[in-house]
Homo-oligomer: A and B are copies of this chain.
Amino acid sequence: MIEAAAERLKGWARRTPMLSSPFLDDLAGRRVMVKAECLQHTGSFKFRGAWNAISAFDPPGVIAFSSGNHAQGVALAARLKGIPATIIMPSDAPRTKIANTRGLGAEVVLYDRASEDRDAIGARLAAEPRLTLIKPFDMAEVIAGQGTCGLEIAEQAAEEGVETADVLVCCGGGGLTSGIALALEARAPGLRPRPVEPEGFDDVARSLAAGGIRANDRLIGSICDAILTPRPGDLTFPILRRLCGPGLAVSEDQALRAMALAHDRLKIVLEPGGAVALAAALFLPGPGEVVIAVATGGNVDREVMARALALPGEG
């Protein structure tokens, strides 16, 4: 399915670059390779899964719920396919994400993340016969689309002569992490995926440690909006459990520092939730001489970037 997704994405998604900086290597004490998915269309990897799922289903219209990156991926994919998209977004999503989703032509429906159940809203709207629900992660076609990022990581690591490394992935519901895990299992078994989450929202790490699905206590109160999900998915968790190393968690301060260093050293723009893997690569100890971090998204409000850039000094 991932290979089929790669065929569908050819000429539509970007093959994002693998970046690096000797300064980051020095800081981390090991070689740091950064897969810059923030440079994907709509500023995050989400376009991959959205394009693959919509291409596979070929529906007359789509609906999705998302804090903003899946929203934009679905909106652009639908626009390119010439079909309507309805997107259900939390009212506290970053305003640029809401504006961009509307700017890409989607109809946006807002809901209160603390008091309303987005799955119920989604199920109700998806009951409309002309709208096909494109789930943010727990859907095979979406996982396969995100997995194309893993195929590229396997190729790019091989080009650099890297056979053994942890591959750190910013993880919400686990769609990208499980897709990458499946791709690496087939193409680069020496590369070990590991989910990275914000401290206090590490449902995946706790689920992996417990051997069964654990939920987050809360879904608000982090700047890492892109990766705040209630719990790992029913499809994604068994994949994560079979293929991933232990989960990692970083603080908000570490995520902001990673954003500033990505600005200084890689010349890329990351959002907090898209920077947690780089933060883990830079600030947490890890095995081996090389670590690969997936920089999953860059849809950040200017004020949040300015906050990161106002932090003192290096690292």
Contacts and interface: CB of A to CB of B under 8 A. Distances in A.
Nearest to A15: B17
Nearest to A265: B43
Chain A's interface size range is 20 to 34
A302 B39 contact: no
Main secondary structure of the interface of A (DSSP, over half): helix
B103 A23 contact: yes
A14 interface: yes
A9 interface: no
A100 interface: yes
A38 interface: yes
Copies in the complex: 2
Given A43-B267, A268-B268, A302 B23 contact: no
A300 to B, nearest CB: 8
Interface in A1-44: 14, 16-17, 19, 22-23, 36, 38-39, 43
A264 B302 contact: yes
Contacts of A36: 39
5 contacts: A14-B17, A23-B103, A260-B302, A267-B268, A269-B269
Interface of A: 14, 16-17, 19, 22-23, 36, 38-39, 43, 76, 96, 100, 103-104, 260, 263-264, 266-270, 298, 302-303, 305-306, 309-310
